[in-house]
Amino acid sequence: MREPPPHVSDDDVLVLLRSSWDRDLASVTHLPVGFGAHHWRADAEGTPRFFVTLDLPDERKTASELEASYAAAAQLAASGLEFVVPSLPSVTGSFTVPCADGDLSVTAWRDGTSHGFGPPETREAAEATLAMLRRLHATAPPPGLAPWRPVIDRAFSARLALRLGTPWDTGPYGERARAALSRHVEDIGRWSAAYLRLCDAAVDRPWGATHGEPHQGNQLVTPTGRVLVDWETARRAPAERDLRVLVEGGFADLCGDAIDWEMVEMYDLEWRLDEISQYADWFSAPHDGTKDDEIAYGGLLGELDRADFAVEA
């Protein structure tokens, strides 16, 4: 997130990090990176030591699922997947520690570069991404890794349509967001029905360990190679949950003939509907017009207006 959380200070984070991970930490600095979670750099002896994350669990990502995902990432790294950047256990052995209304976690600091939130932009990057995903998908899922589940239920579109019937006098983007969603209310119903039909079909597909969001924003190119970060979305699921990002980038040919196009379509719809659901919650609640609000509003319009996914023949 671009703005620091209003309910958690840097001092709050530093105190918790010292008591739960490393008493020698000297300072923390909020980092305006990512979207959805808050991040800090924690320094000791004049150098960065930890990359710190504050996740805010909700019905899509509960506290227990978050802990299980980070624990699974640590097991995957220990199994020999060197590209997995795992969270580090706290002094109690847990990978997350409660912090205000969220959960704090840390990874070792890695120097590297990232390239935004989109799919791979070059064939070289796509091939490197696929190489990591192939190894991940071939690895037995850690026993505690939670299963993927649909992000909406069958009443989602009806509930949203009902919410759109009253003004959103919640901030500078409230009414604009409501108007945009109202223009697409029939589309949202159609997308939801198609998604839920495909979710029923997914039960009978092969499932394995997946990252969930292996886009460029969750990759770092480091001096020792490319790595995958932010494992809070790790779940047992069909492989297309990850492979969708390569299809989106125009590199479907790399995935081979075994790719399941219905599952790619399902996860494309899932991304769209999850974004719409979260942004509807965001703008129907009080907000001030921050940079994060601006980015979120642009994200909402992007999902509402982009073309439908076309399943290959």
290 and 175 part of one domain: yes
Residues composing the chain: 313
**What type of residue is 28?**
V
Q: How many beta carbons lie within 10 A of that of residue 277, not counting itself?
A: 19
Domain count for the chain, please give it: 2
pLDDT at 277 over 80: yes
Q: Of 47, 77, 108, which residue is a domain's last? A: 108
Q: What are the pLDDT digits (tens) for 52-86?
A: 999 987 777 889 999 999 999 999 999 999 999 99
**CA pair distance 30, 293, nearest whole angstrom:** 18
Q: What are the pLDDT digits (tens) for 236-265?
A: 999 999 999 999 999 999 999 889 999 999
Pairing of strands 102-108, 47-55: antiparallel
In a domain? residue 35: yes
170 and 248 part of one domain: yes
**Tokens found for residue 105:** 């976690």
186 and 155 part of one domain: yes
Write out the H or E segment, with its range, that includes residue 98. Answer: strand 97-99
**CA pair distance 203, 168, nearest whole angstrom:** 38
Q: What are the pLDDT digits (tens) for 107-150?
A: 999 999 988 788 999 999 999 999 999 999 999 999 999 999 99
Q: Of 48, 77, 108, which residue is a domain's last? A: 108
223 and 91 part of one domain: no
**Closest Cα to residue 48, out of 28, 65, 31, 63?**
28
Q: What are the pLDDT digits (tens) for 224-236?
A: 999 999 999 999 9
**What type of residue is 210?**
T
HSE of 311, CA atoms in CB hemisphere, 13 A: 14
Pairing of strands 225-228, 208-210: unpaired
150 burial level (CB within 10 Å; 0-12, 13-18, 19+): middle
Q: Of 108, 132, 162, which residue is a domain's last? A: 108
271 and 152 part of one domain: yes
Q: How many beta carbons lie within 10 A of that of residue 79, not counting itself?
A: 12
In a domain? residue 4: no
> Is the distance from CB of 218 to CB of 211 less than 8 angstroms?
yes
In a domain? residue 3: no
32 and 163 part of one domain: no
245 and 148 part of one domain: yes
**Tokens found for residue 119:** 């799919």
pLDDT at 2 over 90: no
**What type of residue is 216?**
Q
pLDDT at 106 over 80: yes
CATH for 49: 3.30.200.20
pLDDT at 182 over 50: yes
Q: Which domain holds residue 285?
A: 123-305
**CA pair distance 262, 312, nearest whole angstrom:** 9
pLDDT at 270 over 60: yes
104 and 127 part of one domain: no
**What type of residue is 289?**
G
pLDDT at 41 over 60: yes
Q: What is the pTM of this model?
A: 0.94
> Is the distance from CB of 188 to CB of 181 less than 8 angstroms?
yes
**CA pair distance 283, 278, nearest whole angstrom:** 9
